[in-house]
Structure 1
């Protein structure tokens, strides 16, 4: 019974996330989520007492999955810590662009400004998630300095925060411009800040 509970709850989260990633949180009604998940309203309210609580759970689930994927990228045994770090940034291109232009699939980029004005619990969930992302980046930079693949950094935590903010801004500009120029500029700025070869190509 517990496995069934988890599966149904996760199914609703996954279906809702897919729609909200495309249309935003306010632009998606509860009935659209119910239809996509093929569950009755009573089942939805069994797991989530409101749409806002659903949104909070969806963001927490997204952050958990994001961090797990991030950990895999940053701990590749065949790559140096600096190479793994640049693999992470290269992944932002595939997250922010599709073949036709710009279709951002990062919920931090997609929903931050929207939910910050709409829901304090959702804002806090995203804020906590981004803090955890930055902390992982700082650790990766410390590991890269330790294995010699990065030059010493005076303040890895500050560098991690600066780079994360740079890439968030680049992702937002990519949505406006409908091209990859901002992400390409962020790539070059990252190489310069980390003192890596300027001719290194993104994935």
Structure 2
């Protein structure tokens, strides 16, 4: 295999992953068949099994890819110039409201959509979700620690506990938004977030 062929192979694999992520963010994991993903991606079925041994293996790779991208976006948000850490964190929560609602999330809300479903279907996917969400909490904890040190926010517990509480709060709010079909749970989550971080308007 020549080096010139490697980008094409990567593109095909990434195309399948991105297409699956986009569709499953809307419909869930079990409701989506491989044929729908491959037809949408314009990829023959034989190519799928060249990259993934099964649908579960695909799901595991998709979650890994999703969280790797999510972490990169989060780190970018938490390193924005000309803002203190409190402002960066609040920008993250504001962005959450726009990407994790009951409206079309365009692949952004995969953890919310698939969390409960695939955790019961596949141990490999559950572990990938665990790894991914732990990585989010770890990055939030580091940001909260930096915010406390610079004086832009304060917490009554450890940064790690605050980060865990906030992430769980917003995951729960995202689920409630889908149930009640209004954005009110996000309003409550934002008020609670400001109280936990002791951040004013």
TM over 0.5: yes
Equivalent-residue separation in structure 2 for 1:2 and 1:96 (angstroms): 34
Unaligned runs of 5+ in 2: none
Partner of 2:26 in structure 1?
Answer: 22
Question: Does 2:139 correspond to 1:132?
Answer: no
Instruction: Report the alpha carbon displacement of residue 107 of structure 1 after superposing the two structures with TM.
Output: 0.8
Partner of 2:75 in structure 1?
Answer: 71
Question: Does 2:13 correspond to 1:12?
Answer: no
Equivalent-residue separation in structure 2 for 1:18 and 1:160 (angstroms): 28
CA contact (8 A) 1:102 1:179 kept: no
1:68-89: CA deviations, max 9, x gaps? Answer: 0000101111110110011111
Equivalent-residue separation in structure 1 for 2:196 and 2:21 (angstroms): 34
Unaligned runs of 5+ in 1: none
Partner of 1:146 in structure 2?
Answer: 149
Partner of 2:98 in structure 1?
Answer: 94
Equivalent-residue separation in structure 1 for 2:45 and 2:104 (angstroms): 30
Equivalent-residue separation in structure 2 for 1:37 and 1:103 (angstroms): 19
Equivalent-residue separation in structure 2 for 1:142 and 1:117 (angstroms): 34
Partner of 1:176 in structure 2?
Answer: 179
Equivalent-residue separation in structure 2 for 1:135 and 1:117 (angstroms): 24
Aligned counterpart in structure 2 of residue 160 of structure 1, from 160, 163, 171? 163
Instruction: Report the alpha carbon displacement of residue 136 of structure 1 after superposing the two structures with TM.
Output: 0.3
3-state SS, counterpart of residue 117 of structure 1: helix
Instruction: Report the alpha carbon displacement of residue 153 of structure 1 after superposing the two structures with TM.
Output: 4.7
CA contact (8 A) 2:156 2:196 kept: no
CA contact (8 A) 1:102 1:174 kept: no
Instruction: Report the alpha carbon displacement of residue 51 of structure 1 after superposing the two structures with TM.
Output: 0.7
What TM-score do the two structures reach when normalised by structure 2? 0.94
CA contact (8 A) 2:155 2:196 kept: no
Instruction: Report the alpha carbon displacement of residue 154 of structure 1 after superposing the two structures with TM.
Output: 3.6
Partner of 1:42 in structure 2?
Answer: 46
1:89-148: CA deviations, max 9, x gaps? Answer: 111110123xxx534541111001100110110010001100000000000001111111
